[in-house]
Structures are given as C-alpha cells and as structure tokens.
Structure 1
Amino acid sequence: MLAFTKAGGIFVHNKKGNINWKITGWLTLGSVPATLITLWVLNSIKTDIETINNVIKHSLGWALLFTSVAIIFKKKLLVFSQRHAGDKFHNESTTQNMLTIGIGVLLGATVTLTSIGAGALGTVTLFFLYPLLPTPRLVGTEIAHAVPLTLVAGLGHASMGNLDLGLLGQLLMGSLPGIYMGSMLSGKVPDQFLRNAIAVMLFMAGYKLIF
C-alpha cells in the first residue's frame, strides 16, 4: 500500500523540485537488498506463527518509540549537525555515500519487519547526514526512496500470504488523496504542531505494543 500511496507524493514533490535522486539511489542500494534478505530470513524461520507475531509486535513497538523520540529532537539534531557540518556537507564524499547506504540497510530491515520507518525515521536520519539540504527536499527524497523499498517489501509479504486485498483497497481509498493533499500543504502547516502531534501518537502506540 505504501508504494502506491507514496508514488502520488513523488509526482507533487518532483514537480516542486524537492527530490534529490542521487541520495535516493544510494538509499535504495542499501534498502532493497536488506529487504530481500529480511524477507528470506522471515520465510526461512521454522517456528510457530505466535512467536513470529510477538517478535514483529515488539519490533514495531520499539520502532515507534524510537521514531517518536527522534521526531521530538529533530530540530535539535538539525541544529547540532549544521553547527558541526564542514565543507564535506557541501560536496559528496565516499564516506557520506557509504553512510547513506547504511541508512538504507537499516530502513530496509525495519520496514520489512514492522512496516514503518521509511518516513519519519528515514527523514530524521537524513537530517543528521545532510543537514544543509532544505527540509522539503529531505522529505521528498525519502518519499521517493520509500516507493521501491515498500514495493519490494509488499510483494515479498504478499508472496508469503500476508496480504488482505480488501483491507488494502480501503486503505488506498483514503491514503492516496491524503498524501496528495499532504504534499500540496508541505511547508504551509506549522512544523512544531505536526511534529508534536505525530510524536505523541507514535509514542502511545509503541508503548501499548511493548508494555
């Protein structure tokens, strides 16, 4: 579902010039192989379904908690990164590219296990690595990266029988218009309000899943 949803966001963000396709490529280089490996591990695990569900539930809970904390401190992380950013952030470096691939690996495994991470968590990590890029470009770049990542993960889970087509259709009916409107409103809604609301919602959901 996320692949179809974010594809609509790509159209709007690309039209506004908010996508850095080079960064998207480095992220995909790490995330897609990590997704395939994670899918293979999940399919190869010989255990009962209840154990797998518990692992996924707790992984999702911790991912939600970590994402909520990262969102709250996003601005401080950005200020810290910009303060300590040298000329290396103006020019592409091998180290920076390798770190971007590493972020892709982390996102690939997280999204495949929990279905979250490609959005808020990915954007926050990119804020630290590319602090001099404008916020709309980081968001647009992460949305573009999420399409191949979630497509591979979704197809993999579908092949394992983990897909409810009826529920998928209902979610798409709401999410496609939603992401289009969200992309159009990008930069117009106060960042502080959205960040706090999303952080609280994710923290409560994560806490409930774990404890």
Structure 2
Amino acid sequence: MNLMYTLSGFVVGLLVGVTGVGGGSLMTPLLVFLFGFKPAVAVGTDLLYAAITKTAGVFVHHGKHKSVDWRIVGWLALGSLPFAGMTLYVLKNLMAVGKETTGMITFTLGVALLLTACALLVRSWMLRHSAKEEIDDEHSNQDNSGRFSPSWERFATVLTGAILGVLVTLSSVGAGALGTVALLFLYPRMTTLKIVGTDLAHAIPLTAVAGLGHLSLGNFDLQLLLSLLAGSLPGIWLGSHLSAKIPEQFLRPALATLLLVIGLKFVLQ
C-alpha cells in the first residue's frame, strides 16, 4: 500500500460522492500529472478500479431500486464491447510493431475530458428537464419511450455504445457523465433513477473488458489499484453523505472548468 495513492483515492472518492462526477475523469489525470504514471498504465489501472467500484452501485440500483433497464444495457453493450475489443486489438498491434501509443492515448484522454466537462455543464439542466417530464408523465405508461422510432432508437443506442467503447478503452473517461447525457437525450421519458442505474450497469462490463485488455498489454499496477480502492471506498461513502450539504451549483462548474483546463493540456501537449 502507498499512503499517497490511498489519500488521492480518498479525495477522488469524496469528490465522486459529492458531485457524481465519474472517477476516471478525476483519477486518470491525477495519476499522470501528480504521480507521473504513463497514460496507458493510468488508464488500464483506472478501468479495473472503475469496474470494481461500480459493481457495488449496480447491486443497489438493481436489488433495491429495480432501476436498471437491461434491454438498453444490452443494446449499449452490443456496440461498446466489440468496439472496445477492436480498440484493444489495434493497440496491441501498434505495440507489436514498435509504434508509440502514448500520444494517441493522451490525445484521446484530453478529448474525453473536454467532452466530460461540457457534459457536466449540461447534465444538471437535462436532469432537471427530465424530472419535470417525469412529473408530467407520472400517469403515463411510456416511462421508457425513446426519442426516435423503435428501429432508429435501437440503432442510435448501439452507435452510442460503440462510441463509448472506443472512448472509454482509450481514456478510461466517459462511461459516467457522457453515458448519462447520451441516455438522457435518447430516452427523455425514462426516470432519472433508471438513467443512472442503466448507465452504471453498462459501465461494468465495458470497464471490465477494457481493463482486462489493458492488463493483458501490461498497462496495470496492482499496488496502485489496491491503494486507490482502500482510499476511495470510504471517500465515496463520506462524500455521498456530504452531498446534500455542499452547494453543487458552485462545485460542479468549478470541476467542469478544471477538467476543461486539464483536457486542453492533454490535447495540446
């Protein structure tokens, strides 16, 4: 165990608990800039970390709230898992011929952070808008009706999964904020609780497949993973209890601004 890694995990977990921002968008830049890890190792370790921590959340959503739409999870996975596998295959072949993949991973990480920052700024508005529609449609049977016709709805969901598969595999960022915003757009009548639960359930197989793929490529640090888990789990628990006491309208824009700055640094370096 490394005490500094554990402390960093606690701080990130605390912020995740308070704001709901995905750990990857905070953890991966921290590992690269503060501790000097190679981007590939930071991404690979964070993906396995995310798969473990998100599993507990799905048990709550599925077991207690029954708030996972497994049909939509299946459509997302139909796009994300094959494209995650293809992305890993490309990385493996580039490494086999001696091509440096750090630049591609760093650039993708920067783009993902910029998109996440934008998603954070619109997510609150979309959640409020979704909540109003929930009230308007509380007596309706069209709880999960999509924005498009059934055939286009299925295609758009699979395509969303494919984009997330590539983005998350290369950067470990996007399964949370970007996935939520995409589902809010595709399924405006789905309850907010189901949006969160469905996105969380899809993130588990995606981060697990991508993380195990990076593990097979050697992009992994076991001591780092265990230290992060030791700090982040109590941090998430504490942050969840503090979330009602901290004004989110100030903290979330501040975090979005920070992610914009970090994302630009990754893209331009």
**TM band (smaller chain):** 0.7 to 0.9
Q: CA deviation at 1:204?
A: 2.3
Q: CA deviation at 1:200?
A: 2.3
- Specify the code of the residue in structure 1 equivalent to 2:54: K
| Corresponding residue to 1:39 among 72, 88, 92 | 88
Aligned to 2:233: 176
Q: CA deviation at 1:188?
A: 8.6
Task: Work out the percentage of aligned pairs sharing the same amino acid.
Answer: 48
1:11 matched to 2:62? The reply is: no
Measure the CA separation in 1 of the matches of 2:164 and 2:56.
21
Matched-pair contact (CA < 8 Å) for 2:54–2:200: yes
Q: TM-score, normalised by structure 1?
A: 0.84
Measure the CA separation in 2 of the matches of 1:186 and 1:26.
32
Aligned to 1:48: 99
Q: TM-score, normalised by structure 2?
A: 0.67
Aligned pairs, how many? 204
| Corresponding residue to 2:113 among 38, 58, 64 | 64
Q: CA deviation at 1:195?
A: 3.5
SS in 1 for 2:173: coil
Measure the CA separation in 2 of the matches of 1:208 and 1:137.
35
Matched-pair contact (CA < 8 Å) for 1:57–1:210: yes
Inter-CA distance 188–134: structure 2 relative to 1 (3 Å threshold): farther
Measure the CA separation in 2 of the matches of 1:182 and 1:32.
31
Q: CA deviation at 1:71?
A: 1.8
CA RMSD of aligned residues (A): 2.7
Q: CA deviation at 1:63?
A: 1.0
1:33-73 C-alpha deviation (Å, 9 max, x unpaired): 11001000111113433xx1111111101110111112212
Measure the CA separation in 2 of the matches of 1:119 and 1:148.
13
Matched-pair contact (CA < 8 Å) for 1:9–1:180: no
- Specify the code of the residue in structure 2 equivalent to 1:105: A
Measure the CA separation in 1 of the matches of 2:198 and 2:248.
18
Matched-pair contact (CA < 8 Å) for 2:109–2:266: yes
Measure the CA separation in 2 of the matches of 1:90 and 1:110.
26
Aligned to 1:120: 177
Q: Which structure 1 segments of 5+ residues have no match?
A: none
Which has the larger displacement, 165-174 or 102-111?
Answer: 165-174
Inter-CA distance 183–141: structure 2 relative to 1 (3 Å threshold): farther
Q: Which structure 2 segments of 5+ residues have no match?
A: 1-48, 134-140
1:134 matched to 2:185? The reply is: no
Matched-pair contact (CA < 8 Å) for 2:83–2:165: yes
Aligned to 1:27: 76
Which has the larger displacement, 61-70 or 191-200?
Answer: 191-200
Q: CA deviation at 1:74?
A: 2.8
SS in 1 for 2:220: coil
SS in 2 for 1:116: coil
1:121-165 C-alpha deviation (Å, 9 max, x unpaired): 111111110111122221111111010000000110000111111
- Specify the code of the residue in structure 2 equivalent to 1:203: L
SS in 1 for 2:182: helix
Matched-pair contact (CA < 8 Å) for 2:143–2:191: no
| Corresponding residue to 2:166 among 109, 112, 118 | 109
Inter-CA distance 183–138: structure 2 relative to 1 (3 Å threshold): farther
| Corresponding residue to 1:2 among 50, 56, 73 | 50
Matched-pair contact (CA < 8 Å) for 1:12–1:183: no
Which has the larger displacement, 71-80 or 31-40?
Answer: 71-80
Matched-pair contact (CA < 8 Å) for 1:8–1:176: no
Q: CA deviation at 1:11?
A: 1.4
Q: CA deviation at 1:12?
A: 1.7
